Homo-oligomer: A and B are copies of this chain.
Amino acid sequence: MKLFVKITPKQQRVLDFIREKVNKDNLPPTIREIAAACGFSSTGTVRDYLDALAKKGYLKRGNNKSRAIELLQGNPQKLRLIGAIPAGTPNEAHEDPSDYLDLKQLFSRESARGEVFALKVKGDSMVNAGIMDGDIAVIRKQPSGQSGEIVAALLEDNEVTLKRLKHLKQGAYFLEAANENYPPIEKEFTVIGVLISIIRKY
């Protein structure tokens, strides 16, 4: 899949119409609606445009489904997800669903059950785990965690903290920071959930 493929003015016009329809009606147009709007007399022409735009990564098409046009750029819900560019042939258009990051689906399963909340991280006690001051930690609510998992825990003073949970042989637990300047917490604490995601905004 090529990265930044230029789009021709005519392709831009087709794309603009689709975007306009989606924004206005919340419903992508059919092939014939595009043809009528852009002045094409053949459905095949529109199909060629859609295939070209899909190949360039501007939209995604469904198979044999009406109106199955999904915009990928200028649409914050779904982002193109690229890995390291393989040196050689970077121009295949493969329909790998893992090529896209769907923001709506990021936590859809968990949040549908209503057991997810977000926690703003304060301090640098987890910097060595890549968790920085100001990060947003997404937590799935649950009363315990496995050893090594990063959990949100409620301390005695009603403060919520993010630490790595460690099990001891005797069934005891403690909380370990990912920063040598912070001592482990062995006092009483309650696990309120496990970390499932970190979101940071710059």
**Interface residues in A, total, Cβ within 8 A:** 79
**A80 an interface residue at 8 Å Cβ cutoff?**
yes
Chain B's nearest CB lies how many Å from the CB of A86?
A: 6
Select one of B117, B122, B150 contacting A81, CB under 8 A.
B117
Considering the chains assembled together, what is the distance between the CA atoms of A198 and B199 in angstroms?
6
Select one of B85, B149, B196 contacting A158, CB under 8 A.
B85
A residues 79-97 in Cβ contact with B at 8 Å: 79-90
Contact with B along A174-202 (1 / 0, CB 8 A): 00000000000000000010111111111
**9 further A-B pairs in the complex, CB-CB below 8 A; given A90-B158, A198-B199:** A77-B108, A84-B160, A86-B160, A90-B141, A101-B118, A106-B201, A127-B130, A130-B200, A197-B199
Residues of A within 8 A of B (CB): 3-4, 23-28, 30, 62, 65-68, 70-71, 73-90, 101-108, 110-111, 115-123, 127, 130-132, 135-136, 138, 141, 149-150, 154, 157-161, 192, 194-202
A selection of 19 A-B contacts at a CB cut-off of 8 Å is: A3-B192, A25-B70, A26-B70, A27-B28, A27-B68, A73-B115, A76-B105, A77-B104, A79-B117, A79-B118, A79-B138, A81-B118, A81-B136, A83-B119, A83-B120, A84-B122, A106-B201, A197-B199, A197-B200
List 6 tightest A-B contacts by C-beta distance, closest first.
A84-B122, A80-B117, A198-B200, A79-B118, A130-B132, A66-B66
